[in-house]
Amino acid sequence: MSAVVASAQETRKTKRVEAPAQAESQSGDATKLAPIVAVGQTGGQPPETGTIGQPSAPYAGGQMATGARLGALGNRSVKETPFSITGYTDKLIRDQQARSIADVTLNDPSVRADAPAFSERDSFFIRGFSVTNLDTAYDGLFYLTNPRRSPLEGIERVEVLKGPSTLVNGGVGRVGGTINLVPKRATDEPLTRLTTTYMSDSQLWTHADIGRRFGPEGEWGIRFNGSYRGGDTALDHNENEIGVLSLGLDYRGDRVRASLDLNHSKQNINAPASLFNAAAPGIKIPEAPDGRINTSNPFEYHDSEHNMIAGRIEFDVLDNTTIYAAGGISRYREDFLSTSYTIQNSKGDALAEFGYNPQEIQGMSGEVGLRSEFDTGSVGHQLNVSVSRAQNKNNRGYFNPRSDFKFRSYTTNIYNPVYVPSSWGDASGLPRSNDLHKFSDLVATSVAISDTLSFAEDRFQLTLGGRYQEMRVQGFNTRTGIPSDPVGVRNYNYDKSRFSPAVAALFNVTDSFAVYANYVEALTEGPSAPSGTTNSGQIYPPVVNKQKEIGVKYDLGEVMLTAALFEIRQPNGFTTSRPNPVPGGPDLRDFSVNGLQVNRGLELSAYGEPVDGVRLIGGVTFMDAKLDKASDRTGKISYNGNRVPGVPDVAFSLYGEYDTPWVEDLTLTGRLVYSGSTYYDQANTQKISDWTRVDLGARYSFERENGKPVEIRATVQNVFDENYWASSARGFLAAGAPRTFMVSTAFEF
Task: State the average pLDDT over residues 385-391.
Answer: 95
d(CA 306, CA 514): 42
d(CA 239, CA 231): 6
- CA dist 378 → 320, 400, 506, 682 (Å): 17, 68, 17, 54
Task: State the average pLDDT over residues 397-419.
Answer: 74
**Which 3 state secondary structure label does DSSP give 251?**
strand
Q: In the predicted model, is pLDDT for residue 47 greater than 80?
A: no
d(CA 32, CA 13): 23
Q: In the predicted model, is pLDDT for residue 250 greater than 90?
A: yes
Q: Answer whether 458's CB lies under 8 Å from 12's CB.
A: yes
Helix or strand run (H / E) with residue 254: none
**Which 3 state secondary structure label does DSSP give 486?**
coil
d(CA 408, CA 425): 10
pLDDT confidence of residue 632: 61
d(CA 569, CA 505): 21
pLDDT confidence of residue 434: 75
pLDDT in tens, 56-96: 899 999 999 999 988 878 888 999 999 999 999 999 999 99
CATH superfamily of the domain spanning 2-748: TonB-dependent receptor, beta-barrel domain (2.40.170.20)
Which residue type does 412 have? T
Based on DSSP, count helices (H) and strands (E) in the chain, helices before strands. Answer: 3, 40
d(CA 321, CA 371): 6
Task: State the average pLDDT over residues 388-410.
Answer: 73
Q: In the predicted model, is pLDDT for residue 13 greater than 90?
A: no
pLDDT in tens, 353-382: 888 878 999 999 999 999 999 999 999 999
Domain boundaries, the chain: 2-748
Q: In the predicted model, is pLDDT for residue 429 greater than 70?
A: no
pLDDT confidence of residue 48: 47
* 30 C-beta neighbours (distance < 10 Å), count: 21
d(CA 433, CA 436): 6
d(CA 699, CA 550): 39
Task: State the average pLDDT over residues 578-591.
Answer: 74
pLDDT confidence of residue 4: 38
pLDDT confidence of residue 636: 66
pLDDT in tens, 146-201: 999 999 999 999 999 999 888 888 767 678 999 999 999 999 999 999 999 999 99
Q: What percent of the chain has pLDDT over 70?
A: 87
Q: In the predicted model, is pLDDT for residue 476 greater than 90?
A: no
d(CA 446, CA 598): 26
Which residue type does 198 have? Y
- Cα dihedral angle (596, 599, 600, 606), rounded to 10 degrees? -160
Task: State the average pLDDT over residues 19-26.
Answer: 37
Rounded to the nearest 5°, which phi and psi values hold at 298?
A: -60, -25
* CA 453 to chain CA mean position, Å: 31
pLDDT in tens, 512-541: 999 999 999 988 887 777 766 777 767 788
* CA 224 to chain CA mean position, Å: 23
Task: State the average pLDDT over residues 248-273.
Answer: 96
pLDDT confidence of residue 656: 98
Whether the predicted model's global pTM rises above the 0.85 cut: yes
Q: In the predicted model, is pLDDT for residue 44 greater than 50?
A: no
Quote the mean pLDDT of the chain.
87
Q: In the predicted model, is pLDDT for residue 18 greater than 50?
A: no
d(CA 49, CA 516): 20
Q: How far apart are the first and last CA of the chain?
A: 55
Which residue type does 353 have? E
Poorest-pLDDT segment among 341-345, 437-441, 629-633: 629-633
> Which of 353, 350, 345 has the alpha carbon at shortest distance from 286?
345
Q: Answer whether 629's CB lies under 8 Å from 596's CB.
A: yes
- CA dist 513 → 22, 176, 228, 456, 601 (Å): 20, 26, 45, 16, 22
Task: State the average pLDDT over residues 665-678.
Answer: 97
Burial 645-655 (b: 16+ CB within 10 A, else e): bbbbbebbbbb
